[in-house]
Amino acid sequence: MFREARQNRIFQDVVEQIQEAILKGTLKAGHKLPPERQLRDMFKTSRGTLREALRVLEQKGLITIKTGVSGGSIVNAVTHRQVSESLALLIQYQRVSLRDLAEFREGVEGIVAGLAAKRANKKDIEQLRALLSEAKACLDEGASRWDAFIRIDNEIHLALARIAGNPVYESILQTIYNNIHLYFDRFLPREERILKQNYRDLRKIVIAVEEGKTAEAHSLVQDHVGRFNRLMEKNQKEKTD
């Protein structure tokens, strides 16, 4: 299955071989790698070195490691993986300001909405409609479901990214949404008036996508994201004053 390891840094060679196998599709998502002690023999190396290699692969997001019997290293799907630690780190440690993120989202999500309007098929529309009615339901149930509403709101944005059909946009926005909740939790005002406004925005957006109106979808999303961002920014100012 694998070559014997060579090179200065043996673990690096092991990483490359396994990565190669995963990315070339020899090892498919969901497959389980042999146990560490067996891999050690296959690569003719020591367990410590092999574990350093697995650590790197885990950090790259290529495998997930579980303990216990029937645990082990499981191959992750290559697509849809987070575009990365690094962007996540930048966001988490706020080297990137809320304003920066907001500006980015306004620009990029506008483009994505335009593409989505151009490319949505019948099934995509159905998904958007389903999310929309979930959102409505949350809103009707009152304050207890507001967090669920916000989650669905995000899902609609990510659905648009998927529908846009470009994995670059999709993975980047996914990374951003995976981390932006840090800001949402702190600065997003939970008021019915605001959430209802959001719902009306989303509804208009879905309709524009459904009717294939690219320019309208673009500007609607831009406005929606922009309004959202200004709200958070105002809230941020008030909290830090």
User: What is the C-alpha R_g of the chain?
Assistant: 22
**Residue 31 interacting with DNA (CB under 7 A):** no
Nearest to 124 by CA among 165, 83, 68: 165
Tell which one of 42, 74, 87, 231 touches its own copies (CB under 8 A). 87
Residue 9 or 237 with smaller CB distance to DNA? 9
CA contacts within 13 A on the Cβ side of 19: 15
**Residue 168 interacting with its own copies (CB under 8 A):** yes
Residues 43, 149: Cα–Cα separation, whole Å: 50
Residues 228, 123: Cα–Cα separation, whole Å: 28
**Residue 73 interacting with DNA (CB under 7 A):** yes
**Residue 198 interacting with DNA (CB under 7 A):** no
Q: How many residues lie near its own copies (CB under 8 A)?
A: 39
Which tokens in the block code for residue 241? 């004053």
Which tokens in the block code for residue 25? 């599709």
Chain residues that interact with DNA, rule: CB under 7 A: 8-11, 33, 35-37, 44-49, 51-52, 54, 65-73
Chain residues that interact with its own copies, rule: CB under 8 A: 11, 23-24, 48, 51-52, 55-56, 59-61, 78-79, 81-87, 89-90, 93, 95-96, 100-101, 103-104, 107-108, 111, 115, 166-169, 171-172
